[in-house]
Structure 1
Amino acid sequence: MHPNLANAALFRGADPRDVAELCDSLVSQRFDSGEVIFEQGEHGEFLYIIVNGKVKIGSSADDGRENLFHILGPSDMFGELAILDSGPRISSARALTDVEAVAMDREVLRAWMAPRPEVAEQLMRVLARQLRRMTSSRTDLVFNDAPGRVAKLLLRLAQRFGVQRDGSVLVDHDLTQDEIAQLVGSSRETVNKVLNDFTHRGWIELRSKGLLISDTERLARRAQV
């Protein structure tokens, strides 16, 4: 069993032998960068756990505009709501990079949870964290300015995808500035100005689809966290 599967939040507290047996039975799938995994409004049959790669979760307006909600990475789960309530997908999922994931259908999930109440409790915790994150994002849109929201996003990306390097944090986030703008509820032009300002202040260094955070303390103060 891949360690990124063993670390999935859904399996915390479960017997590792049971987890290994379940994971061996799951269907492994690969998605190319940019490939749609599922679309908003579709009937959902599977939840997914990421083994390798990054996935972006968002929705689309009728005029084609995109709105990103989350960027997910190894060990993260997505697509669970539609198989829990049998409703349509409320968001779309697209591979941000090449992705390897495993898929679990509704019946397998129910059979897995039935004798294991601790798994159902863990799933509730995962959903509660998602709700808290959504509430926090909405609050930021009201009470935090664009530079503060960008700073907060960069810190979240650093926490999730960052690697310590000589006192700094290297973050390979694989996002365009337009995608960053969607995540913080701003325009690409504003995000570009904010990132250039942070660079001028010496807080970050921009890289292709990534950045190096040199001063997390000042970035955190700007993010008001």
Structure 2
Amino acid sequence: MDRAKASFLGRAALLSHLPPPLLSRAVQRTAPVRVRRRRELWRVGDPAEHLYFVRSGVVRVGMEIGQGHALTLRFHGKGDVCGEVGALEAALGTPAARHTDAVAHEELVVYALPIEELQLLLEGFPGVVAELAGLVSTRRREVELRLGGLPFSPVPCRVASALLQLVEPFGVRDSRGIIINLRLTHRELAGLVGSTRETVSAILSELRRAGVLQIEGKRVVLLDTDALQARAEPPG
């Protein structure tokens, strides 16, 4: 058995409570998949055949919203599970196709667990059902809250909020503040907040002039998170 893979998957919240025989079987049935940057892990309409565990790199999950614009729903980094909605539907016997696109935002390695193996886990260990259903529910609620607020929240508030939400999964502290260790173009950040590149560029420039953040290449350094938090609050 690949010890590195076994150690990594054994720490995944979805699998960490499995009895050793079930965990060993899941590890053996899970295969590594490598995806080059900007290549697709899945597309809208693809059958949901695997549940994925991100070993390294970043996955961008989103959808096309017309006129060449893409809306980003979430970035998944190391240790995250992705493809959970379609995987759960398929494992429970509902014909499932992907509702989103998933693209390698950076060079990507994922471990792919076949749906058939997930079905066995769901049947043999109810804790996996609860863990996976909880993950689906939490992420769906987060997306619904964010999308529901788009028409009512000014774009500067959405940009500030999006940057703050990237702190937990991708933030690295240094002497200046917090580096968002995720390469983001202005267009990609616009896709995350449902706006245009031009608008987001103007907002970032204003935040930089105000000393709230600075830009290093395609990475953002948050210099004053309190000021950013204040800007994330819609005017009352």
> What does residue 37 of structure 1 align with?
41
- The answer to whether the 8 Å contact 2:59/2:102 transfers is yes
How do 1:133-144 residues align onto structure 2 when only pairs under 5 Å count?
A: 133-144=142-153
> What does residue 219 of structure 1 align with?
228
- Residue 143 of structure 1: SS of its match in structure 2? coil
**Structure 1 residues 100 and 118 mapped into 2: Cα distance closer, same or farther (>3 Å)?**
same
Kindly report structure 1 stretches of 4+ aligned residues shifted beyond 4 Å: 15-18, 61-64
Q: Distance in 2 between matches of 1:136 and 1:196?
A: 27
> What does residue 209 of structure 1 align with?
218
> What does residue 162 of structure 1 align with?
171
Q: Which among 72, 75, 93 is matched to residue 76 of structure 2?
A: 72
Deviations 1:78-99 (A, max 9, x none): 2232232322110111100000
Q: Distance in 2 between matches of 1:110 and 1:19?
A: 14
Q: Which among 27, 46, 49 is matched to residue 23 of structure 1?
A: 27
TM-score by length of 1: 0.91
> What does residue 58 of structure 2 align with?
54
Instruction: Choose 79-88 or 27-36, whichever is displaced more.
Output: 79-88
TM-score by length of 2: 0.87
> What does residue 126 of structure 2 align with?
117
Q: Which among 100, 109, 114 is matched to residue 105 of structure 1?
A: 114
- The answer to whether the 8 Å contact 1:9/1:76 transfers is no
- Residue 10 of structure 1: SS of its match in structure 2? coil
Structure 1 portions without partners, runs of 5+:
none
Structure 2 portions without partners, runs of 5+:
none
Deviations 1:105-144 (A, max 9, x none): 1110011122211111011110111111112212321332
How do 1:178-193 residues align onto structure 2 when only pairs under 5 Å count?
A: 178-193=187-202
Instruction: Kindly state the Cα deviation for residue 14 of structure 1 after the two structures are TM-superposed.
Output: 3.5
- The answer to whether the 8 Å contact 2:160/2:228 transfers is yes
Instruction: Kindly state the Cα deviation for residue 24 of structure 1 after the two structures are TM-superposed.
Output: 3.8
CA root-mean-square deviation: 2.0
Instruction: Kindly state the Cα deviation for residue 168 of structure 1 after the two structures are TM-superposed.
Output: 0.8
- Residue 205 of structure 1: SS of its match in structure 2? strand
Q: Aligned AA for 1:52?
A: S
Instruction: Kindly state the Cα deviation for residue 17 of structure 1 after the two structures are TM-superposed.
Output: 7.0
Aligned pair count reads 225
Instruction: Choose 26-35 or 81-90, whichever is displaced more.
Output: 81-90
Q: Aligned AA for 2:95?
A: S
**Structure 1 residues 22 and 215 mapped into 2: Cα distance closer, same or farther (>3 Å)?**
same
Is it true that 1:176 corresponds to 2:185 in the alignment?
A: yes
Instruction: Kindly state the Cα deviation for residue 62 of structure 1 after the two structures are TM-superposed.
Output: 6.2
Q: Distance in 1 between matches of 2:39 and 2:114?
A: 20
Give the fraction of aligned pairs with identical amino acids, expressed as a percent.
27
